[in-house]
Amino acid sequence: MTSVLVYGAYGHTGRFVVAELRERGFDVVLSGRNAAKLPGGRPASVDDPAALDRALDGVAAVINCAGPFAETATPLIEAAIRAGVPYVDVAAEIEANLDTFALFADADTVIVPAMAFFGGLGDLLATTAMGDWTTADEVHVAYGLSGWHPTPGTLSAGRVSRERRDGRRLRYAGGRLEHRDDALPTLEWAFPAPLGPRPVLGEFTMADVVTIPRHLDVPDVTTYMTTAAAEGLSAAQERRSAETFVVDVVVRAGAEERRIVARGQDIYAVSAPLAVEAVDRILTGRTRVKGVASAGEIFDAPGFLRALSPHISVETPA
């Protein structure tokens, strides 16, 4: 039986990933920083390379679910490289994603960051929508969430990102990331029925601005968030229920437009099949490139989305 190590296995998303792996027949090795939460597991601190090496002994792949990823990603990737096994994470931290692509550009080991609802899913959708286009002018990713009650891990990661950018916000325009001090624009996005038009925050920048332009020739990538969800994130209420979501992706080239829509429930739970499907495809040789890559870059995007059909429905409206 193939063994996969889940780092941060006791966290909110980590538990979903563990369950998905077991359902698909993998042997799961539990790991993380808190030994008290890992009876029978392999605890390892990220500042202890020897402990990480012991944790990875004999496993076929690593899925990192432990944020802030600014602290965990680099040590775990380095351990994965030493062990010669692929690494996947569910990081939605833009700065941590950028670090991963920059620091491990020459790695031989397969490394796929942001393989989650934010970053991975948007990249797969945009890549599928592009189809036979080799370039486009704009990609827009609009998140229609019924609400957003963040986990402690999400809040912690957000604090780290804000500190790293000195409280400024980010946007991707003109082929580059730029920091801005002005307020987010508010506008209306025409989501498909039954959601319909909703107020959104424009330039509510998520990890998609790292993953999409990583391999698609698109100078402008903009993400949007329904204001109700953004307010829930700011309020940081205790998570009691799962949100429903619509991810509406529009790709434009000149006067032409292509659209693709994904629907589902629970942005944390759906990160599990995204990460596990990625590991499955890597271990069975169904990849397009080697080294560090984003989801749409390394996988057959339309085929990957079809594999997610039990969890996420995808359509391409006329």
- Assess whether pLDDT exceeds 80 at residue 84: yes
Greater confidence, 259 or 238? 259
Helix, strand, coil percentages, rounded to 5, for the chain: 35, 25, 40
Secondary element (H or E) of residue 28: strand 27-32
**Strand, coil or helix: 217:** strand
Q: Residue 229 phi/psi, 5° resolution?
A: -70, -40
Measured distance CA(183)–CA(191) in Å, rounded = 23
Measured distance CA(96)–CA(94) in Å, rounded = 6
CA 92, 93, 94, 97 torsion: positive or negative? negative
Measured distance CA(239)–CA(264) in Å, rounded = 18
Cα-Cα end-to-end distance for the chain: 44
- Assign 236 a pLDDT band (cuts: 50, 70, 90): low
- Assign 238 a pLDDT band (cuts: 50, 70, 90): low
pLDDT, tens digit (0-9, with 9 covering 90-100), for 139-163:
999 999 998 888 888 888 888 898 9
Exposure b/e, 167-189, CB count within 10 A at least 16 = b: eebbbbeeeebeeeeeebeeeeb
Residues in the chain: 318
95 class by beta-carbon count within 10 Å (0-12 exposed, 13-18 middle, 19+ buried): buried
Q: 314 with 304: CB under 8 angstroms?
A: no
- Return the structure tokens found at 96: 């941590």
Q: What percent of the chain has pLDDT over 70?
A: 98
pLDDT at 239: 61
- Assess whether pLDDT exceeds 70 at residue 53: yes
Exposure b/e, 100-133, CB count within 10 A at least 16 = b: bbeebeebebbbbbbbbbbbbbbbbbbbbbbeee
What mean pLDDT is predicted for residues 111-137? 98
What mean pLDDT is predicted for residues 285-303? 97
- Assess whether pLDDT exceeds 80 at residue 87: yes
Please enumerate in sequence order all residues whose Cβ is within 8 A of that of 289, keeping only pairs 6 or more positions apart, or say none.
297, 298
179 DSSP 8-state letter: E
Measured distance CA(37)–CA(8) in Å, rounded = 10
CA-nearest of 68, 64, 4 to 32 is 64
41 DSSP 8-state letter: S
- Return the structure tokens found at 65: 């679910």
What mean pLDDT is predicted for residues 232-254? 82
pLDDT, tens digit (0-9, with 9 covering 90-100), for 11-52:
999 999 999 999 999 999 999 999 999 999 999 999 999 999
pLDDT, tens digit (0-9, with 9 covering 90-100), for 275-292:
999 999 999 999 999 999
- Assign 237 a pLDDT band (cuts: 50, 70, 90): low
310 DSSP 8-state letter: T
Measured distance CA(63)–CA(302) in Å, rounded = 23
- Assign 235 a pLDDT band (cuts: 50, 70, 90): low
307 class by beta-carbon count within 10 Å (0-12 exposed, 13-18 middle, 19+ buried): middle
pLDDT, tens digit (0-9, with 9 covering 90-100), for 184-204:
999 999 999 889 999 999 999
CA-nearest of 201, 195, 197 to 231 is 201
- What residue ranges define each of the domains in the chain, with the CATH number in brackets? 3-115+270-307 (3.40.50.720), 118-267+310-315 (3.30.360.10)
